[in-house]
């Protein structure tokens, strides 16, 4: 089931903002050196606050997506593999974000951080595949070369 346009574009915007603020934070955090560290520390802190704020919005969107999109498409057996991976990846990001905020043990925190980063960088590719496959299965989007649309599309 396709989401209505305003909600779909809001989800896309929040998703993009999460990726961009997370990637920008990683860069700013890496650029914190003693000689110019103060400015990058401020930039990194602001990016992390923005990333967290957008994450709260995305949590609300995920809460809406489950009954409006995921559950309905599960019932009609539409796009299940990538949908399941999307839900699992988002669950991992939520749990690891919680861990990053609350875990104090450095060894565990490193694993939580690496997992959050890896899944965060993997998710945009999965998101794109999920959208393309969903549109293709509904006869609305890009096709793989040489594959005709289903009858009636």
How large a percentage of the chain has pLDDT more than 90? 74
74: exposed, middle or buried (Cβ count in 10 Å: 0-12, 13-18, 19+): middle
Q: Answer yes or no: are the C-beta atoms of 31 and 40 closer than 8 Å.
A: yes
Does residue 8 register a pLDDT over 50?
yes
Q: Answer yes or no: are the C-beta atoms of 124 and 12 closer than 8 Å.
A: no
pTM (predicted TM-score): 0.84
Q: Could you tell me the CA-to-CA distances from 121 to 37, 126, 132, 149 in Å, in that order?
A: 25, 10, 18, 31
Does residue 152 register a pLDDT over 60?
no
Which stretch of DSSP H or E encloses residue 54? helix 37-65
DSSP assignment of 93-117: HHHHHHHHHH---HHHHHHHHHHHH
Mind listing the pLDDT tens digit for each residue in 81-95?
999 999 999 999 999
Crossing angle of the two packed helices 5-30 and 37-65, in degrees rounded to 10: 150
Q: Residues 6-35: what's their mean pLDDT?
A: 94
Q: Residues 12-31: what's their mean pLDDT?
A: 96
| Mean pLDDT rounded to a whole number for the chain | 90
Mind listing the pLDDT tens digit for each residue in 127-146?
999 999 998 887 765 544 54
Mind listing the pLDDT tens digit for each residue in 57-66?
999 999 999 9
130: exposed, middle or buried (Cβ count in 10 Å: 0-12, 13-18, 19+): middle
Question: Which phi and psi (to 5°) does residue 102 adopt?
Answer: -110, -20
């Amino acid at each position: 089931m396709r989401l209505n346009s305003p909600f779909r574009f809001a989800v896309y915007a929040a998703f993009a903002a999460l990726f961009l603020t997370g990637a920008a934070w990683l860069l700013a955090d890496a650029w914190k050196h003693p000689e110019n560290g103060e400015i990058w520390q401020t930039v990194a802190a602001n990016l992390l606050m923005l990333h967290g704020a957008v994450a709260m919005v995305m949590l609300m969107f995920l809460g809406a997506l489950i009954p409006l999109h995921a559950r309905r498409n599960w019932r009609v057996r539409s796009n299940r593999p990538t949908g399941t991976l999307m839900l699992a990846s988002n669950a991992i990001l939520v749990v690891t974000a919680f861990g990053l905020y609350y875990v104090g043990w450095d060894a565990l925190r490193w694993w939580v951080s690496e997992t959050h980063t890896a899944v965060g960088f993997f998710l945009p590719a999965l998101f794109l595949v999920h959208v393309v496959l969903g549109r293709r299965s509904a006869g609305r989007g890009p096709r793989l070369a040489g594959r005709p649309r289903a009858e009636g599309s």
